Amino acid sequence: MDDACVVLITTPNEDVAAKIAEALVAEHLAACVNILPSITSVYRWEGALQRDSEILLIVKTRQALLQSKLIPRVKALHPYDVPEVIALPITAGAADYLNWLAECTASPAADHS
């Protein structure tokens, strides 16, 4: 599968992380979302150095869904003014996993549990 990708999204807390993760999977915008608790992010915001505890989402999806569906959905659910949503291509992987990823994100009418 040529357009498989991993998307990284940071969130302020577990409730927001779970809400976004569940929506993306339920709406077939992601095959799987891992929720990694308790990361520390250091960044510059509005001219000041910030250090915050955040939750990281690792989203497995297809690049074809990013701009038109996934990013707008994340922005609609996310409390940040500028949420982190960055995609990295999956250049290789187990064929059966990548096929499953494609199936799960292909059609909202199908059940891929």
Nearest in space to 86 (alpha carbons), one of 41, 49, 47: 41
pLDDT score, position 85: 98
Cα four-point dihedral sign 32, 38, 39, 45? positive
Model pLDDT, residue 113 = 45
Q: Which amino acid is at 37?
A: P
**Which of these CATH numbers, 3.30.70.120, 1.10.3720.10, 3.40.50.300, 3.40.640.10, describes 4-104?**
3.30.70.120
In this structure, the chain runs to a length of 113
Provide the whole-model pTM. Answer: 0.90
Tens-binned pLDDT, residue by residue, of the chain (113 aa): 689 999 999 999 999 999 999 999 999 999 999 999 999 999 999 999 999 999 999 999 999 999 999 999 999 999 999 999 999 999 999 999 999 999 999 965 544 44
With a CB cutoff of 8 Å and minimum separation 6, the contacts of 101 are 1, 4, 31, 32, 60, 61, 62
Give CA separation, 2 vs 64, 99, 102, in Å.
Answer: 10, 11, 10
